[in-house]
Amino acid sequence: MEKSGMVFLNGKFLPIEEARVPVLDRGFIFGDGVYELVPVYSRVPFRLDEHLARLERSLAAVRIRNPYGRAEWRDIIVQLVAKQPFEDQGVYFQVTRGVAKRDHAFPKDAAPTVFVMSNPLVCPPKELVESGAAAVTADDFRWQRCDIKSISLIGNCLLRQVSADAGAVETILFRDGQLTEASASNVFVVRGGVILSPPKSKLILPGITYDVVTELAQAGGLPLQFRDVSEAETRGADEIWVTSSSKEVLAIVTLDGKPVGDGKPGPLFRRMYALYQEFKQKVMRAGKERQAA
C-alpha cells in the first residue's frame, strides 16, 4: 500500500502536501469549475458512470472542455481508490477552467485543471439513522442553475450554515413557496402513504441518490410521485427524508424545531433505508466479483 493522502492533479499522482495550484486558477479566482463526489464502498465505486455522466453535463453547461474520456476518468478514480489505506471512500473530483490572467470572459487557450482526492467516507452514524435528524428551513436564494454541480458553493455554504448554527443536519429550501431541495441534499416527503419529490428542473441538483431512491421505490412497489410540493405540504408531511451520496437516505424528524409526523423515522423511511442498504450490498458484491475476475 502506498502512503496515504495521495491525490491526482493534472495527470500525476502525488501526496496532497505536494499538490499546488497557481493562484490565478479560475477555480480560485471565480469559482469557475464543476465537481463530483462519488461514494466508494469496500473499494467499489457506487454509480460511477452516473456521476461521470453528470460531470459531462455540468462541464457542457459551463462550456469547459472535458479533458478526459469516460474510460480515462474511470481509470484515474480506480487507481486513486487503490492508493488509499481505507476501504470506504468519498472520491471528490473537480475540473476548473484553468489558469489565466484575471478576466471574466473565458480564456482562449487555458488547459482545464483536474484535481481528484479521496477521503474516508463519512455516513450518518447508526444512532442518527435510527433516531432521525433535525432540519431547519430557509428561503432558497441561490442562482437559477442549481442543476449544474458548480464549485461556486457560497449560496449552499451560507444556507448550510443556517442549520449548522441551529445544531441541525440540513437546511431545507423553499423558493416561491415551493420545496426545492436542501443545502447539500435532495428532499422527499411522504403524505398519505405517497412519496413525493419535486421533479428535476434547473432549480435542483439531479441527485444520483434521488435516482437510486426512485428506482428502488419503483422496484419495491412504493408509491412515488414527482410533482411540485408546497411549503405547507412539506411542513405538514408525515415523513421527510434527505438524500445524498454521503447521507444516503436520512429521516428528518424535526423541522424548525417542530416534530415531523410523530417525530420518529416513519415506516416508508424504514422500508427505503433497508432497500438502499440491500442495494448497496448487492452493488458491492458484484463489484468485488468483477475485480476478482
Ligand X SMILES: Cc1ncc(COP(=O)(O)O)c(C=O)c1O
Residue 207 beta carbon to ligand X: minimum distance, rounded to whole angstroms: 3
* Number of alpha helices (DSSP H) and beta strands (DSSP E) in the chain: 8, 15
Q: What is the DSSP letter of 109?
A: S
Phi/psi for 111 (5° steps) reads -90, 135
Residue 15 beta carbon to ligand X: minimum distance, rounded to whole angstroms: 26
Residues 167-186 that bind ligand X (CB under 6 A): 181, 184-186
Beta strands in 72-132 (DSSP E): 89-96, 113-120
58 binds ligand X (CB under 6 A): no
Is 258 catalytic? The answer is: no
Closer residue to ligand X (CB): 10 or 152 = 152
Residue with cell 431545507: 172
Residues 232-271 that bind ligand X (CB under 6 A): 243-245
Residues touching ligand X, count (CB under 6 A): 13
Q: Say which amino acid occupies 4.
A: S
55 binds ligand X (CB under 6 A): no
Residue 180 beta carbon to ligand X: minimum distance, rounded to whole angstroms: 9
Residue 246 beta carbon to ligand X: minimum distance, rounded to whole angstroms: 7
197 binds ligand X (CB under 6 A): no
Element spanning 43, H or E: none
All 3 cell numbers of residue 95? 475540473
Instruction: Write the CA distances from 159 to 145, 164, 169, 201, 224, integer angstroms.
Output: 16, 9, 11, 20, 28
All 3 cell numbers of residue 230? 408546497
CA distance 52 to 128: 30
Residue 143 beta carbon to ligand X: minimum distance, rounded to whole angstroms: 12
* Catalytic option among 3, 149, 258, 264: 149
**Of the residues 89, 156, 163, 171, which one makes contact with ligand X according to CB under 6 A:** 156
CA distance 276 to 127: 17
Closer residue to ligand X (CB): 99 or 250 = 250
**Of the residues 58, 118, 171, 209, which one makes contact with ligand X according to CB under 6 A:** 209
Which residues carry out catalysis?
149
Residues that bind ligand X (CB under 6 A): 156, 181, 184-186, 205, 207-210, 243-245
